[in-house]
Chains A and B, each alone.
Chain A
Amino acid sequence: MPADTPDSGLPRPGAWLQARLRPHRKWLLGATAAGLGATLATVALAGLIAWAVHMALFAPERLPLGMVLAGAAVAAVLRYALQALRDRAGHRLADAVKRELREELLEAARRDGPVHLAHRAPSGAWVDHYLRRVEDLTGHYARYLPGTRMVILTPLVLLLTVAWLDWLAAGLLLLSAPLIPAFMALVGMGAEQIHRRQQDEENRLAGHFLDRLRSLDFLRRARATQAAREAVVAASDEHRRLTMRVLRVAFLSSAIMEFFSAVAIGLLAIYIGFGLFGAIDYGPAGSLTLFTGLFILVLAPEYFLPLRQFAQSYHDRAAALAAAESLAPLLQPAGGPATAPPGAPDSPRTAVHLAGVQVQYPDTAQPALHDIDLQIGRGEHLAVTGPSGSGKSTLLALLAGFLRPAGGEIRVADDLQRFVWIGQDAHLFHGSLRDNLQLASAEPVSEAAMNDALARAGLPVDDPQLPDGLDTAISEGNTGISGGQAQRIAMARGILAGHPLWLLDEPTSALDEATEAALLDTLFALAAKHDITLVIAAHREAVRERASRVVRLAEGRVESLA
């Protein structure tokens, strides 16, 4: 199986998980070594217990009981300390992988910029991946991977020990072990089928409660909360019926595991008992002693333990594969040639100079922008228009440096490397209004300057829309702040930043006409007063009629200059 699928260039989830392991392999080795050590200590412990009993019953005068018990206690301490180390190493492994991955996710966003970021997933999904999807990898690295080692090593060590004691008993253990996974697989496949058939219905029912919670407003206004609550109970009951149908089968597989290990232990005990009694004269049974018999009996449950643990961690693997599949594409580098740092435009009157610029998105055949030649003069108010998909936003992103051109050259005046960006929905950061305004500057901004900037942006600090003035709280998703207000706060932020280049991507498209007009009046007055170079992508008439120049794009080309 090739490691890479040729079409997407993305590694398969399994290979991806393996690649993430590579730098942290030492933890896995540590976990394996500790697990193996614990198994050896277990063998010693069982042997000492069996020997103590044997000697106490048959040769009590030759038994140094105190020393044997002390030795067993040491073995016991060793065993559980090593098991603790084994689990700890597994946690450390998972931690190292997750931490590295999270840092890479942060870095990928920084490196590839907002355009590529949005291209791959909405920002909420990035957060979800960062927190939940990465966390889904825990079980795979902490339990499943060490488990794959222990499920072979521990039974092997125990089997060799038992074989050395009595090969027939070892044969019994050996026979029962492969039967377990085989039967489990059979039952598991059955459960899988039932599961898959019911998955959609189950997901729907599981989401029902949350959906009704989210619609609680509507339910209350419709006076239907009581009916909805009854429906929630009915859906939960239906969900229970379906889930139990799956679980009843799924539990069969663990029941089989239990059954085989319990029966194997029981059979071993009976075989040993009958052998010791002298009722079996076949093979090694005649040479069994209480020491060997008890030794084998105490080891038998340990033989099945890693199998049971491994079976439990198997779903960890499935969760990790699903997570890998969705995480890998986020980390793919955006590519695009790294351009040499652009110089300043030739003329000091020019703010930005684009020459033969071309932009290509990774998964499209057509370039998003062709051969763009454009000069933007200082203090110009340029509107970029065109139908949706014509490349307006791409051009803005290019000027902002969020995208790298595939060809051509962009020159930006040295004093315009920092700029103000206002998108369709200005992002307001969680915190207070004051925090948001402070963001514009690395230096502390005075309250007076903030109030002044807000007033100039048309949202004076004593406006009733800001109930607590500068301390007005801004929460997740800008709740309580209207679209027009958010854009004005963004403008105040821009004023405080003091950058003479403002890039605005459809800043008014989410607003109604009256609000748009008021906002644009404020914006253009500000720009004129402070000699700001404005570049606005917009398809609305209101923007075009206020601009000093209009560039129209069509299918990624400059169509006309007006």
Chain B
Amino acid sequence: MTDREYLQRLFRARLGWSLLAWLLLAVTWISGIVLLALSGWFITATALAGAGVLATLDIYSPSGGIRAAAVLRTVARYFERVTGHEAVLRILADLRATTFRQLARWPARSLATLRSGDLQARLTSDIDTLDAIPLRVVGPMAGALLALVSAVAIALWLAPPLAAAILLVAAAITLITAGLAAAAGQRHGRRLVQEESDERVALLDYFGGLPELTAFGRLEERRAALARRTREGAARRLTQERAGVLGEQGVQLVVMLTTLAMLGYALHAYAEGLISGPVAVLLTLMTLGLNEALGSLPGAWWRLGESLEAARRLRETEAGAEGPEPVGAEPVELPSGPLEARGLSVGFRADRPLAGPLDIRPEPGYPLVIHGISGRGKTALLETLAGELAPTGGELRWGEQDLTTLDPDTRHRVIGYLPQRVRLLDDSLAANLRLGRPDLPADRLWAVLDQVRIAPLLQRMGYSLEYPLGEDAGNLSGGQARRVALAWLLLQDRPVALLDEPFAGLDEATEAAILERIGPWLEARQTVIVTHAPRRMPAHWPRLAL
């Protein structure tokens, strides 16, 4: 599928709104042209009649036409903008849904790159660029075409074909001018995007690494390099802007010179007796009136390039996707376990395993406690057991099946994995807890909140289940947010539970209280807990030191 087909598929669903907006835009421009042309015809005719050259003239119907064109232009403009934005916002929703569906299919490890602020910013701005295509790219082009066709038709009706030919030549020159300017500007476009993202990283290093740079005496060097980079980037941007200005004013000049050419031809044709005086003025002012429509072409052409670029980047999200979209509906019967690892080794590269080979088969009733100092691969082991990181060696099975080839949704039904950091939704407490199980009753939610020893606190503060957690759970403390995530896991009835430092940051008494309440739940399934304080875990739970 090409970028163009991708765009077509994207916009087809909202074609009705877009078509209406384009039509209204054309009506706006055409009525503007009619307003000018009719006004020119009218005052010339009245001047001739006033001077007695023209015998009779009905002055009331042309002036009525002028008034009608003025009103029509305003009304059409207003509704064009309303429908155009309606189309944009509808496409925005579609685009978000499409992008979201594709990102949901990304492998877990690639998703980590989404945490980069840079990528998020680019994704949003790409979507914003794309959703504006009907309004800012296709609309002006379609509107300009319709306006041009109308002007050519009027010229053919009132004057010899040469008048229409002048308009067509002007349109061709405009297109070429606009295209050249856009190409000149965009030569830098792609590079500018890359440079901006490099600059951002360099700035983060400068402002964030200020103490280190000062200590090592490298500050002045970095500052000068950044200043130079910024100056060079600004110079490139200025060059790009120059292309924009030249394109815009160049097209205006083309239209004006065409107007003069039309004036010369029309006066000549009038002298030859081919057309009347008022028609000569009408043709001239009609050509002048085209500047609004043709003047929008450089911008549209420019944005077309940007939009294709944005489409290309967004389609990369599609390329990164693997497998089907994980669905939430209850599918076929769950294959039976247990989870078992034989000779499993984990790490980021096969030739340098972090840990292993390990034989792991946690038994219900005996949660496996994994401990060891940081950097020994505890988290990587848990991620591997969860099926989110490929093992570097050995076997990982769920019953008869290889866990790593299990389809993601089945895997998620089997494995409840609670990583060290869960980014909760910016939504209510209840919405977070009910995630994946939307029909849980409120008393179940309160029960688990009580198990993680957070219910009394919430009640004391007067918070209900509708309490909004805020962005990245900003309305909760770090420890509270972790306990909400733990409560969520407790609500998932899955045969395997993998917990990475679930009690980090809690004092010993709280940890013990929580453990006492959730112990039975943990013992009711295959459980693995990673902790740096194994002595706080019940003595009968088996240990594994990494």
Contacts and interface: CB of A to CB of B under 8 A. Distances in A.
B375 A485 contact: yes
B233 to A, nearest CB: 10
Interface string B213-236: 011111110010011001100100
A127 B74 CA distance: 44
B111 A216 contact: yes
A84 B243 CA distance: 10
Main secondary structure of the interface of A (DSSP, over half): helix
A430 interface: yes
Interface string A267-281: 011101111111100
Contact of B426 (A207, A244, A275): A207
A352 interface: no
A426 B35 CA distance: 69
Interface string A510-554: 011111001000000000000000000000000000000000000
Nearest to A517: B373
Given A233-B97, A467-B349, A222 B238 contact: no
Interface string A71-109: 011001101110110011001100100110011001101
A429 to B, nearest CB: 5
Interface in A339-385: none
Contact of A277 (B46, B202, B241, B423): B46
Contact of B203 (A49, A131, A226, A518): A131
Given A56-B267, A91-B241, A269-B39, A124 B100 contact: no
B93 A218 contact: no
Contacts of A427: 205, 208-209, 211-212
B521 interface: no
A130 B263 contact: no
B328 A225 contact: yes
Contacts of A244: 82, 85-86, 89
A484 B206 contact: no
Interface size bracket, B side = 35 or more
A24 interface: no
A322 interface: no
Contacts of A411: none
B423 A262 contact: no
Contacts of A98: 234
Interface in B58-100: 59, 62-63, 66-67, 69-71, 73-74, 77-78, 81-82, 85-86, 89-90, 92-93, 96-97, 100
21 contacts: A49-B263, A49-B284, A57-B44, A79-B256, A83-B252, A87-B249, A92-B238, A103-B227, A110-B219, A110-B220, A131-B196, A214-B114, A218-B425, A290-B48, A294-B281, A423-B211, A441-B216, A442-B218, A464-B347, A465-B354, A467-B352
Interface of A: 45, 49, 52-53, 56-58, 60, 65, 69, 72-73, 76-77, 79-81, 83-84, 87-88, 91-92, 95, 98-99, 102-103, 106-107, 109-110, 113-114, 117, 123-124, 126-127, 130-131, 204, 207-229, 232-233, 236-237, 239-240, 243-244, 247-248, 251-252, 254-255, 258-259, 262-263, 265-266, 268-270, 272-279, 289-290, 293-294, 297-298, 301, 400-402, 418-421, 423, 426-427, 429-430, 439-442, 462-465, 467-468, 475-477, 479-480, 482-485, 490, 493, 497, 499, 503, 511-515, 518
Interface of B: 32, 35-36, 38-40, 42-51, 53, 57, 59, 62-63, 66-67, 69-71, 73-74, 77-78, 81-82, 85-86, 89-90, 92-93, 96-97, 100-101, 103-104, 106, 108, 111-112, 114-118, 120, 123-124, 196, 199-212, 214-220, 223, 226-227, 230-231, 234, 237-238, 241-242, 245-246, 248-250, 252-253, 256-257, 259-260, 263-264, 267-268, 270-271, 277, 280-281, 284-285, 288, 325-329, 347-349, 352-354, 372-375, 377, 408-409, 412-413, 416-417, 419, 422-426, 435-436, 438, 471-472, 485, 488, 492, 504, 532-533
